[in-house]
């Protein structure tokens, strides 16, 4: 045998495996075709029964695919499909869900007659669609879902990023690694938009010396279509293919190119797709070029001049600003801006100088500001909370010289969250039980939410327990996977897992790690923190998560610091940082933690939305009174740190705020949570939950937000913009002509005389009348084309004078081109004041004074 065998020994040198490629496409049996259809519309994301269908197919696979049904349906075995076909319960469920889906679409077949085009740089819809980075995107995503639910006729435009925003991984030292993953567009819920001949629908925009092409993709969000532009095409120059590679990646120049594509390309895409929207909503200044492209389009198509077209564009545009610091607003240096935009003024019949004024507040500025552009081309401007509306007046006030800040026509619509996307199914069931079967369709009936007071306290307590336990399990899985990957000490992993306690008071803090959000505040006194978390009878645990922008070193250092603290023996399993904050983690956290903590530096949190996601789930909010919480906070419905700053020095303010946080934690939050009755329930805690749901939650849904946008902006602007275009733009032309007339003589207007009777020596007596008379040479304007007002302000020390009173003069022609203004001043308040006479152009057709910014202080 031995010698026999030897014969067969030889060296195999050419026996490497040879692989040939075949692709076997999964075959979904016809009977399961509804699954494919459901996978292509994000409706399933906020309809739990639909989501459950996918999960049921193969739970493990569903998690491995990160809840992406497009990927999953390609992976499921034919055998499993056959099983499902024979699973009568599954088939019944699927057909039921599919029936509901079809009915939902059917009910939205006839769109309303006011179409809104919505533009945003990012949209947070589902983790498989990596076109969001944080709050701005989440808001836009929720808004689209709500638009679908509320049958609003809206189309949305954005960009499709090849690598999206980064995935966060932390190494052993807590250093953030930003991983950009290549997106295979065939595996995400986007579909090509084709023309009649089956070719891909594309648009082009001009870049210096070349054209940039982009193809159009479509995302279905219920009945809403979101169109995404993608420049990663072989016909583009290599460098231009990168334009849509990263969200908020690259340099300022790339940002400019992205914004050209979003604004100018976006309008062209809608044109190609045959959408002629009535209103254009610019979500943040990124998309402000929509105004420019529309101006050019209207001028070319209807033969209007620039000022006429501007009336049309302004009346139909709404600009929502989200950024409370001036530096946060995109702007581009003149040289760079001119290099890219040089051809534009020609299309608008303007010279470069005039054109560039559209993005400037003062002529000597050397940057073109996108928020200024958006403001100049929008009738409606709003911030995203009441406080932020006021803050935005400061940010934009340079644009409206001659007006006091408080007079500015900058309103607000407080953000909201999409109820069905963020509320746990367990809560949805309770809500249906107590608010009625119609819920959440009737969520705008705020009284309905009061029925939560009828729910038994044990039921709510149990529900919270269930959700917390779910979260703790999820976290154990999620963090141990990532810790194993980074070769974390197995002992530490076990220790954390053992210490995480599904019954402990659990507090969450997750958001972008920008310094203003002050993630460090909790750690100012580690001894005290340690006592709080390690109390054996009343344990507390903190879960942190969040990404820092790759260019934000301070934010990354903060993450590192928290990770280091979480490894100290006294904090292991008590303070945990979970990497890669995404929508799914946000959902688990906001449904599962007991308290959501937010510690921004006032007034830098424009709105904040994560806390609203919490309150939908009875997660109690504990935050600085900033952003939405100024409006949301009620006594016994959460906790607040005072709104007023005590110190100018940030470090002192931080110290004070940290102290307050510890006090509230120790004396109120921990105390209340562990104050149990004999059933083991904290009745007071449940009361606070009920107050939160009855009094806070109803006001922070995207439903309420959509309603506010309609009432404050969409409906009035729809009517006015209609009137602008009627009868071949008659009114636009008249108004434009009038504005031209005013502006041509404005600088020559001359004050002739002012007389304040008996007001000698500038001392007046209360109760007496002081006739005031002002004569102005209007240089040919008639007396009723201008208004004159007496503006009285406090003579205080404040930087910005506060208005005490504004009184309007009566006007009479006196002689020639001179107009006499008369007023009887009747002082009622004692004190020392400043006063001034202010002349402004007057026309009933203006939606508000700053629509035509001319002003003259006499």
Closer by beta carbon to ligand PLP, 166 or else 852: 166
Helix (H, G, I), strand (E, B) or coil at 155: strand
CB distance 505 to 539 below 8 Å: yes
Where residue 840 falls (left for φ over 0; alpha for ψ -120 to 50; beta otherwise) is: beta
Which residue in the set 166, 581, 685, 731 belongs to the binding site for ligand PLP (CB under 6 A)? 581
Q: How far is the CB of 496 from ligand PLP (least distance, A)?
A: 23
Is residue 586 a contact point for ligand PLP (CB under 6 A)? yes
Stretch of 61-69, 242-250, 578-586, 775-783 contacting ligand PLP, by CB under 6 A = 578-586
Q: How far is the CB of 323 from ligand PLP (least distance, A)?
A: 13
- Rounded to whole angstroms, the Cα distance separating 73 from 469 reads 30
Closer by beta carbon to ligand PLP, 613 or else 704: 613
Q: How far is the CB of 722 from ligand PLP (least distance, A)?
A: 35
Dihedral of the alpha carbons of 153, 159, 160, 166, in degrees to the nearest 10: -120
Closer by beta carbon to ligand PLP, 612 or else 783: 612
- Rounded to whole angstroms, the Cα distance separating 346 from 60 reads 59
Stretch of 396-404, 582-590, 637-645, 758-766 contacting ligand PLP, by CB under 6 A = 582-590
Give the bridge partners for 439, in sequence order.
none
Closer by beta carbon to ligand PLP, 126 or else 842: 126
- Rounded to whole angstroms, the Cα distance separating 317 from 514 reads 31
Which residue in the set 421, 591, 609, 692 belongs to the binding site for ligand PLP (CB under 6 A)? 609
The first and second tokens of residue 16, run together, are 């490497």
Instruction: Tell me the per-residue interface mask from 646 to 685 with ligand PLP, x by CB under 6 A, - otherwise.
Output: ----------------------------------------
Is residue 550 a contact point for ligand PLP (CB under 6 A)? no
- Rounded to whole angstroms, the Cα distance separating 150 from 289 reads 28
Stretch of 29-37, 606-614, 681-689, 789-797 contacting ligand PLP, by CB under 6 A = 606-614
Closer by beta carbon to ligand PLP, 135 or else 801: 135
Q: How far is the CB of 606 from ligand PLP (least distance, A)?
A: 8
Residues 128-157 that bind ligand PLP (CB under 6 A): 134-135, 138
> For residue 223, how far is the Cα from the chain centroid?
21
Is residue 519 a contact point for ligand PLP (CB under 6 A)? no
Where residue 67 falls (left for φ over 0; alpha for ψ -120 to 50; beta otherwise) is: left
- Rounded to whole angstroms, the Cα distance separating 534 from 552 reads 33
Q: How far is the CB of 80 from ligand PLP (least distance, A)?
A: 32
CB distance 150 to 113 below 8 Å: no
Q: How far is the CB of 360 from ligand PLP (least distance, A)?
A: 30
Which residue in the set 610, 623, 695, 850 belongs to the binding site for ligand PLP (CB under 6 A)? 610
Closer by beta carbon to ligand PLP, 588 or else 776: 588
Closer by beta carbon to ligand PLP, 600 or else 698: 600
One DSSP character per residue, 570-590 reads GGTTTEEEESS--HHHHHHHH
DSSP state for residue 246 in the 8-state scheme: B
Closer by beta carbon to ligand PLP, 45 or else 256: 45
- Rounded to whole angstroms, the Cα distance separating 111 from 805 reads 46
Contacts of 821 (CB under 8 A, 6+ apart): 773, 774, 775, 776, 788, 809, 810, 811
Q: How far is the CB of 422 from ligand PLP (least distance, A)?
A: 8
Q: How far is the CB of 259 from ligand PLP (least distance, A)?
A: 22
- Rounded to whole angstroms, the Cα distance separating 732 from 726 reads 9
Question: How many of the other CB atoms lie within 10 Å of CB of 467?
Answer: 22
Closer by beta carbon to ligand PLP, 496 or else 583: 583
Closer by beta carbon to ligand PLP, 168 or else 610: 610
Give the bridge partners for 167, in sequence order.
179
Closer by beta carbon to ligand PLP, 266 or else 608: 608
DSSP state for residue 669 in the 8-state scheme: I
Stretch of 42-50, 518-526, 603-611, 685-693 contacting ligand PLP, by CB under 6 A = 603-611
Q: How far is the CB of 513 from ligand PLP (least distance, A)?
A: 10
Helix (H, G, I), strand (E, B) or coil at 782: coil
The first and second tokens of residue 112, run together, are 């309303």
Closer by beta carbon to ligand PLP, 307 or else 584: 584
Angstrom distances, CA of residue 822 to CA of 757, 782, 785 = 11, 16, 16
Is residue 316 a contact point for ligand PLP (CB under 6 A)? no
Q: How far is the CB of 608 from ligand PLP (least distance, A)?
A: 4
Q: Supply φ then ψ for residue 238, to 5 degrees.
A: -50, -50
Give the bridge partners for 205, in sequence order.
212
Closer by beta carbon to ligand PLP, 153 or else 415: 415
Is residue 265 a contact point for ligand PLP (CB under 6 A)? no
> β-pairing, 620-624 with 639-641?
parallel
Q: How far is the CB of 375 from ligand PLP (least distance, A)?
A: 23
Closer by beta carbon to ligand PLP, 138 or else 341: 138
The first and second tokens of residue 87, run together, are 């699973």
Is residue 600 a contact point for ligand PLP (CB under 6 A)? no
Which residue in the set 240, 278, 582, 626 belongs to the binding site for ligand PLP (CB under 6 A)? 582
Helix (H, G, I), strand (E, B) or coil at 180: coil
Q: How far is the CB of 277 from ligand PLP (least distance, A)?
A: 27
Look-up: residue for tokens 């009868």?
Answer: 727
Q: Is the peptide bond before 460 cis (omega within 30 degrees of 0)?
A: no
Q: How far is the CB of 333 from ligand PLP (least distance, A)?
A: 30
CB distance 163 to 133 below 8 Å: no
The first and second tokens of residue 333, run together, are 């240096």
Is residue 440 a contact point for ligand PLP (CB under 6 A)? no
Rg (C-alpha) for the chain, rounded Å, is 31
Helix axes 266-273, 289-302, angle to 10 degrees: 50
Closer by beta carbon to ligand PLP, 578 or else 586: 586
Where residue 601 falls (left for φ over 0; alpha for ψ -120 to 50; beta otherwise) is: beta
Residues touching ligand PLP, count (CB under 6 A): 12
Contacts of 212 (CB under 8 A, 6+ apart): 204, 205, 206, 231, 236, 240, 243, 257, 260, 261, 265
> Of all residues in the chain, what percent are helix, strand and coil, respectively (each to 5)?
45, 20, 35
Which residue in the set 126, 511, 574, 842 belongs to the binding site for ligand PLP (CB under 6 A)? 511
Q: How far is the CB of 178 from ligand PLP (least distance, A)?
A: 16
Q: How far is the CB of 135 from ligand PLP (least distance, A)?
A: 3
- Rounded to whole angstroms, the Cα distance separating 528 from 662 reads 8
Is residue 608 a contact point for ligand PLP (CB under 6 A)? yes
Q: How far is the CB of 615 from ligand PLP (least distance, A)?
A: 12
Which residue in the set 190, 377, 583, 705 belongs to the binding site for ligand PLP (CB under 6 A)? 583
Q: How far is the CB of 730 from ligand PLP (least distance, A)?
A: 45
Is residue 120 a contact point for ligand PLP (CB under 6 A)? no
Instruction: Give me the residues that bind ligand PLP (CB under 6 A), please.
Output: 134-135, 138, 511, 581-583, 586, 608-610, 613
């Amino acid at each position: 045998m031995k010698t026999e065998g030897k014969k067969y020994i030889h060296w195999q040198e050419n026996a490497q495996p040879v692989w040939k490629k075949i692709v076997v496409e999964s075959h979904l049996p016809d009977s399961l075709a509804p699954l494919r259809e459901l996978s292509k519309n994000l409706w399933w994301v906020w309809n739990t029964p639909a989501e459950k269908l996918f999960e049921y197919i193969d739970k493990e696979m569903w998690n491995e695919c990160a809840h992406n049904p497009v990927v999953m349906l390609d992976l499921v075995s034919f055998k499993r499909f056959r099983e499902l076909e024979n699973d009568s319960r599954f088939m019944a469920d699927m057909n039921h869900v599919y029936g509901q889906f079809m009915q939902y679409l059917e009910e939205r077949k006839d769109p309303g007659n006011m179409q809104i085009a919505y533009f945003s740089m990012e949209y947070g819809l589902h983790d498989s669609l990596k076109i969001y980075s944080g709050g701005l995107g989440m808001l836009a995503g929720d808004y689209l879902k709500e638009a679908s639910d509320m049958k609003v006729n809206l189309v949305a435009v954005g960009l499709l990023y090849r690598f999206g925003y980064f995935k966060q991984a932390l190494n052993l030292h807590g250093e953030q690694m930003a991983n950009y993953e290549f997106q295979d567009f065939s595996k995400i819920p986007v579909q090509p938009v084709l023309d009649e001949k089956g070719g891909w629908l594309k648009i082009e925009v001009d870049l210096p010396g070349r054209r940039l092409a982009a193809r159009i993709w479509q995302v279905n969000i219920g009945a809403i279509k979101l169109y995404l532009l993608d420049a990663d095409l072989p016909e583009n120059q290599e460098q231009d293919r990168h334009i849509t590679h990263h969200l908020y990646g690259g340099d300022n120049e790339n940002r400019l190119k992205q914004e050209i594509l979003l604004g100018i390309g976006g309008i062209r895409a809608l044109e190609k797709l045959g959408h002629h929207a009535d209103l254009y909503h610019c979500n943040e200044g990124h998309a402000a070029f929509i105004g420019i492209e529309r101006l050019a389009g209207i001028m070319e198509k209807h033969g209007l001049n620039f000022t006429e077209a501007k009336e049309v564009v302004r009346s139909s545009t709404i600009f929502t600003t989200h950024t409370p610091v001036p530096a946060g607003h995109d702007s581009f240096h003149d040289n760079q801006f001119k290099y890219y935009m040089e051809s534009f003024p020609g299309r608008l019949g303007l010279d470069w100088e005039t054109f560039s004024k559209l993005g400037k507040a003062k002529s000597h500025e050397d940057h073109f500001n996108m928020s200024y552009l958006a403001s100049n081309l929008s009738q409606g401007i709003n911030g995203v909370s009441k406080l932020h509306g006021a803050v935005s007046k400061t940010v934009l006030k340079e644009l409206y010289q001659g007006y006091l800040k408080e007079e500015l026509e900058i309103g607000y619509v407080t953000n909201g969250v999409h109820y069905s996307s963020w509320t746990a199914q367990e809560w949805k069931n309770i809500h249906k039980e107590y608010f009625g079967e119609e819920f959440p369709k009737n969520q705008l009936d705020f009284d309905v939410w009061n029925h939560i007071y009828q729910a038994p306290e044990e039921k709510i307590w149990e529900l919270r327990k269930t959700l917390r336990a779910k979260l703790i399990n999820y976290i154990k899985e999620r963090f141990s996977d990532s810790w194993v990957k980074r070769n974390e000490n197995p002992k530490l992993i076990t220790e954390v897992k053992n210490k995480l306690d599904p019954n402990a008071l659990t507090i969450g803090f997750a958001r972008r790690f920008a310094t203003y959000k002050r993630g460090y505040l909790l750690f100012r006194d580690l001894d005290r923190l340690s006592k709080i978390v390690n109390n054996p009878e009343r344990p507390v645990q903190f879960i942190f998560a969040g990404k820092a922008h790759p260019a934000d070193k301070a934010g990354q250092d903060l993450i590192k610091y928290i990770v280091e603290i979480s490894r100290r023996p006294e904090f292991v399993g008590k303070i945990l940082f979970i990497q890669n904050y995404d929508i799914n983690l946000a959902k688990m956290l906001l449904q599962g933690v007991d308290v959501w903590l937010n510690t921004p530096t006032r007034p830098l949190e424009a709105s904040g939305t994560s806390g609203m996601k919490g309150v939908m789930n009875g997660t109690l909010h504990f935050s600085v009174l900033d952003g939405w919480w100024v409006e949301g906070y009620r006594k016994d419905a959460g906790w607040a740190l005072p709104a007023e700053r005590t110190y100018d020095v940030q470090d002192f303010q931080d110290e004070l705020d940290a102290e307050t946080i510890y006090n509230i934690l120790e004396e109120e939050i921990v105390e209340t949570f562990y104050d149990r009755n004999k059933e083991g329930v904290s009745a007071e805690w449940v009361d606070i939950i009920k107050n939160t749901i009855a009094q806070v939650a109803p006001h922070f849904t995207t439903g309420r937000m959509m309603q506010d946008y309609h009432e404050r902006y969409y409906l009035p602007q729809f009517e006015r913009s209609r009137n602008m275009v009627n009868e071949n733009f008659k009114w636009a032309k008249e108004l434009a002509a009038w504005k031209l007339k005013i502006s041509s003589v404005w600088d020559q207007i001359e004050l002739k005389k002012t007389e304040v009777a008996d007001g000698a020596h500038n001392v007046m007596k209360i109760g007496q009348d002081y006739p005031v008379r002002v004569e102005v040479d209007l240089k040919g304007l008639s007396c009723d084309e201008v208004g004159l007002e007496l503006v009285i302000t406090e003579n205080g020390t404040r930087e910005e004078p506060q208005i005490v009173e504004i009184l309007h003069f009566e006007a009479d022609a006196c002689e020639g081109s001179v107009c006499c203004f008369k007023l009887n001043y009747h002082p009622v308040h004692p004190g020392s004041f400043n006063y001034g006479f202010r002349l402004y152009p007057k026309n009933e057709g203006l939606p508000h004074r700053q629509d035509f910014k001319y002003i003259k202080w006499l």
